[in-house]
Amino acid sequence: MQCPIQTNLADLHGRLAATHRGELASYIPELANADPRWFGICLVTMDGVAYSVGDTDPMFTMQSISKPFVYATALADRGQQFVTGKVGVEPSGDAFNSISLDPQTGAPLNPMINAGAIATTSLVAGETTEAQWRRIESSIAAFVGRDVVVDEAVYRSESETGFRNRAIAWMLKNFGVIDGEPMATLENYFRQCSILISCRDLAYMAATLANGGVHPLTGKCALPAEHVERVLSVMATCGMYDYAGSWLYEVGMPAKSGVSGGIIAVVPGRFGIGLFSPPLDEKGNSVRGIAACKRLSRDLGLHIFTRTAIPAMALGRVYTGTAAPSRRQPPAEIRAYLNEHARRIKYLCLHGFLAIDGVEYVIRRMREMASDTHSFILDMHEAIGISDSAARLLNQARLGFVEDGIAVVCSRIRDRRAILGPLSKAARKGDRGFLVFEDNDLAVEWCENRLVRELPQASATQGSLADSALFRGVPLALLRQVEAVTRSHLYAQGEQILSHGQEGDGRVFFIESGHVSILMPLQNGAHQRVASLGPGMEFGEMALLGQTTRSASVYADTEVRCRILEAGDLGRISDSAPLLKIAVLENLASDMAGRLRGANQWIAALA
Ligand code: DON
């Protein structure tokens, strides 16, 4: 089954390919060599999937599409204040090559018209114009996702005929907008306009802007998020020059066109679009490109003023620590306390890109639950990112809840920078920010420990064979016999006690003091914790059923003292006291049944 988006694009392409209106740009002679039949459409998702139809691979020069990316580079290098001091952000309503300068300051009205673009080219970092060129080249390469080259023929063609731009450059020098040698800057401008890209490249460049400045395939940050909004703003108001108003009204996407027939359009957080068709309308925009964007915006609902995310969609399942307790098996009295109080641990599954409205909704729900909550676990497994302002709001809420004695922690963020970055930025000086746990099991155990600390400190920190569930119901005298054949061993914190796959080991370990973690190796080399055990608990008990190959690894989380029993020794005592073996095997069976129930509960909670 072909993806419906691909089918839509193919239909649209078929319909518009038949239109033959518009003229090739010829004021740059080399551009007149383009094939007017060329027509490509490419749409890229935030995870880098490309839907493309038509001529999406032929290379052509960026021309004015280079402008928003060089503007982005100048913002990243010199900061917003400095750049807007040199180049305005007001739509001129004039054609791209109009000399629209502020009458007082001489500053170009915006960075999308040639005057503003030439000034912007002079602002990127670099002691020399050669160094500035290398900066422009590497920055654009980050947006494209590979190294770029210049079409020397088009570059020469424009450099030899760009008289109007030369006049503009001297005007800018005259007004002190350009500090350095204006003609050298202009050559860099002509070169950036002559960078070769394809329609597919344009779509990935647009998708990088839509994805908060991160290239959806390379994962490379081409532009810090705080500058993305600025670039998209000038694209929305100035990107289509004296057609910008109608464009925003009818199409509603920040966009930028070029006289070689390329157009990029950005749907923040959703898509990047690249179009290519050389024949231009009287305003210098691709005829088929404009028409295709209008249809795409209407058919796919891409207008940025269309209501998209419903705040409530930010919050998915809400369940409690009773439904999904940690995988440790605490002593009975602690388990009893947790069975009663774990409902005060609330899991909140957050979804999608968390913007201020979604987080506002989540916080409102948390406040509604607060009276009966001891800890909130924000499960970020389904979240893809969070805006800086939303992260600040969430952190403010966390600090508020902490004041009320309620903890708010995060889990399952993994290494998603789009979440970790804003959250760590939101933490003020001296505020350690959100505690982040690798998975829900570790998060809920931390919350359980917080709850258990409410208990009067009766909980046993010292365990013995008698506390082990394996020896429930075994007479004390028999237990003494067993104890006599055991030996005690002290393991240092972090020491590996058993390793997964270890052979021929019949030992059973009874924890007298300290805590251990049972870990299962995962395919990716990481480990998943399956249980955490403390005093009065045992591990390696499968050896009693003759299974001597270890099915998991065991590490000492703290200094651990264990009493070690060889399965063979228990067998020997049982020869003369069969009741012992029966009791131990019965206890083992009911313990395994308990674990199965626990695992089913988890699966149900995660389903
Ligand atoms: O400076 C010029 O005139 C060309 N290098 C770029 C102009 C352009 O692409 C205008 N866009 N519609």
- Over residues 507-557, the pLDDT tens digits come to 899 989 888 888 877 766 666 667 778 888 888 888 888 877 888 888 888
**Angle made by CA atoms 492, 495, 496, in degrees to the nearest 5:** 145
Q: Check: CB of residue 216 under 8 Å from CB of residue 207.
A: yes
Ligand 1 within 6 A of CB of 112: no
pLDDT score, position 32: 96
Which of the listed residues 23, 166, 193 should we mutate to test ligand 1's pocket, taking the one with most ligand atoms within 8 A of CB? 193
pLDDT score, position 528: 67
Distance 44 CA to ligand 1 centre (A): 25
pLDDT score, position 470: 85
- Could you say which of 189, 243, 319, 555 is catalytic? 189
Atom 4 in ligand 1: which residue has the minimum CA distance?
Answer: 63
| Parallel/antiparallel/unpaired status of strands 196-197 and 255-257 | unpaired
Nearest CA to 389 among 365, 349, 422? Answer: 422
End-to-end CA, the chain: 28
Atom 7 in ligand 1: which residue has the minimum CA distance?
Answer: 64
In this prediction, the residues of the chain whose per-residue pLDDT falls under 70 are 308-309, 328-329, 456-462, 504, 523-529, 595, 597-599, 601-607
Q: Check: CB of residue 21 under 8 Å from CB of residue 180.
A: no
Q: Check: CB of residue 71 under 8 Å from CB of residue 137.
A: no
Q: Among this protein's residues, is 189 annotated catalytic?
A: yes
Distance 279 CA to ligand 1 centre (A): 14
pLDDT score, position 27: 96
pLDDT score, position 598: 65
Q: Which residues contact 405 (CB under 8 A, 6 or more apart)?
A: 374
Distance 99 CA to ligand 1 centre (A): 13
pTM over the 0.75 mark: no
pLDDT score, position 434: 87
Residue 117 CB coordination number (10 Å): 25
pLDDT score, position 577: 86
Distance of CA 554 to the CA centre of its chain: 32
- For the chain, what percentages of helix, strand and coil (3-state, to nearest 5) are there? 45, 20, 35
